[in-house]
Structure formats: structure tokens, C-alpha cells
Structure 1
Amino acid sequence: MALFMDVHRKVTGLTPGELEEIARSGLETARAKGVEVRNFWYNAKEGCIFCLCEASSKEAAIEAHRASGEPIPDEIFEVKEGSLH
């Protein structure tokens, strides 16, 4: 499994609670597709959401978004986790 960070741009008009609800609602579908969503971050001012997940491929991560009814990311990157501790 690899780590992927995706970016959703131009996301406006959602409260933090609504974003959390959307993210939580897709967890089961993502797991069924073999994708484990680790966390998400958002910047309301910039209208961006960032999601970190574990998946077998970039395509699997995108398919998990599609299957859960979430918007397809504008960009997705394979990343390696680092630590400062």
C-alpha cells in the first residue's frame, strides 16, 4: 500500500461539520474498495480540501472517491511519510 495526498480545489460554501460528514460518509465505501482514508484537512479561505489515504494505486484512490459520490480530486500525489521526532 502506498500513501496518496489529494487536493480538491474550489470547494466553497461548506461548514467544517458538513465537510466532516461528507468525509465520514465515504469511509465504508473507500474501505470496500481497499482504500484506507487516514485524515483530511481543509482551508475554507482558499476553498481547498486535502485528503491522505492508503491505497494500492492512484487509480484506486480516485475510484474510492468516485464510488463514494465524492468529487474527484483535482490533483493526487503519491507521498512518503516523514517524521520530525
Structure 2
Amino acid sequence: MPLFMDVHEMDGAVAVGDVAKAHMADLQTQDKYGVHYLRYWVDEPEGRIFCLVEAPSADAANTVHRESHGLVATSIYQVQEGS
């Protein structure tokens, strides 16, 4: 399944606890769309959130975000894992 990294650029700082709640909402919705959110990273002071997700398409990944909490990604990139 394709792997994507999405980037959310918020208007101001974000709290990691709030992002954790949004991530939990994604996990509750993801199966409906064949999506699997794997990990996320937060840059609290800059208001950036990065999500790593396996999904059939970028649109499917964004649909989960939209339905779960409304915070769709600013950008989404198909990526390949390296070591």
C-alpha cells in the first residue's frame, strides 16, 4: 500500500495533547477508508504536524482527517521508507 507523509501548518502554536486527541479520532475512523495512520510528529511552537500514513490514495488519507476532526493536511507527499 502507498505510504504518505502529510503536513499540517496551523495558524500558531499547537499542543501535543490536542494532536494526540485528533490522532485518536483518526484511528477510530481509518478502517472505514482502508487507511492506517502509523505515526505523527509535532512542532509545537511552529504549529506544524506531520503524519505518516498507509493509504490507498492521498485523498483517502485526507478524508479520514476531514471526517475525524476537520484538520486536513496543507500538503501530502507520497514517500518511500529508507534506513
Give the TM-score of the pair, scaled to structure 2. Answer: 0.89
Residue 66 (structure 2) aligns with? 66
What fraction of aligned residue pairs are identical, expressed as a percent?
A: 39
Per-residue deviation, 1:16:
1.7
**Distance (Å, rounded) in 2 between the aligned partners of 1:63 and 1:25:** 12
- Asked whether the equivalents of residues 13 and 46 of structure 2 are also in contact (C-alpha less than 8 Å), the reply is no
- Asked whether the equivalents of residues 36 and 55 of structure 1 are also in contact (C-alpha less than 8 Å), the reply is yes
Secondary structure of 1:61's counterpart equals: helix
Residue 56 (structure 1) aligns with? 56
**Superposition RMSD in Å:** 1.4
User: Counterpart of 1:58 in structure 2: which amino acid?
Assistant: A
- Residue segments in structure 1 that go unaligned for 5+ positions in a row: none
Which 4+ stretches in 1 moved above 4 angstroms?
A: none
**Distance (Å, rounded) in 2 between the aligned partners of 1:70 and 1:39:** 19
Residues matched between the structures, number: 83
